[in-house]
Amino acid sequence: MKISKVYTRTGDKGMTSLVGGKRVLKSSLRLEAYGTVDELSSHLGLLAAMIGEGDDHEMIQRIQNNLFVVGTHLATDQSETALPASAQLPAGEVERIEQAIDAINAILPEPQGFILPGGSVAAAQAHVCRTVCRRAERCIIALTETAVVGAEIQQYINRLSDYLFVLAKKINFNSGISEIMWQNTCK
C-alpha cells in the first residue's frame, strides 16, 4: 500500500479514525492500547539494530510484523466493523514464541534469583521492550472490559513479555556478562 500523503489534518482536533472509519478521541483506551503496541515495535526495532543479523534478529522482525497485526486488531471496533483478515494473527504464533522461550531456556543456566534489568546495552534494551510489552498487556486487558479483543491477542502479548525476558538473559549469557542479581536491602 502506497501512502501518498503523510499528513491529512483530520487529527488536528484530537480525533482519529479506526479501521472501518469510526472517529474516536486520540485519548481513548483503544488508542492507548495500540499506541503502546506501536511503541513496543519501535523499541524492538532499536533492539534488532543493536543485536545485528541472525536468528534473534529474524525473530524480532517476525514479532514486529505480528505487532502490526495486533495493532490492526486493536484498531478495529468489532461492534461496528468486521475484523479484517489483516487483523488476525497467523495460526501458531503463540506456540512459536513458546518454542523460542523453551529453546533459550535450554541453553541458559538455572535462575539464581531475581535479576535487575541491565548487563549489556542490548540486554537492557530487551528489558525495556519487556516492560513496554507488559504495559501494552495492561492496556489491552483494560480495553477488554469494554470492547471485543481476541483471546489470542492477549495470549500473544503475554508470551511475548516472557520471551523478551529470556532473550535479555540470552544476550547477556552470549556476551559473557553476568546477570545483575537483586540484593534485598530491606532486611
Least confident range from 3-7, 67-71, 139-143: namely 3-7
What is the rounded average pLDDT of the residues 42-47? 98
Per-residue pLDDT at 114? 83
Q: Which CATH superfamily includes the segment(s) 24-76+88-101+115-177? A: Cobalamin adenosyltransferase-like (1.20.1200.10)
Q: Is 28 left (phi over 0), alpha (psi -120 to 50) or beta?
A: beta
Closest CA to 123 of 163, 169, 161, 59: 169
Q: Where are the domains of the chain?
A: 24-76+88-101+115-177
pLDDT at residue 61 is higher than 90: yes
What is the rounded average pLDDT of the residues 30-37? 94
pLDDT at residue 1 is higher than 70: no
Mean pLDDT across the chain: 90
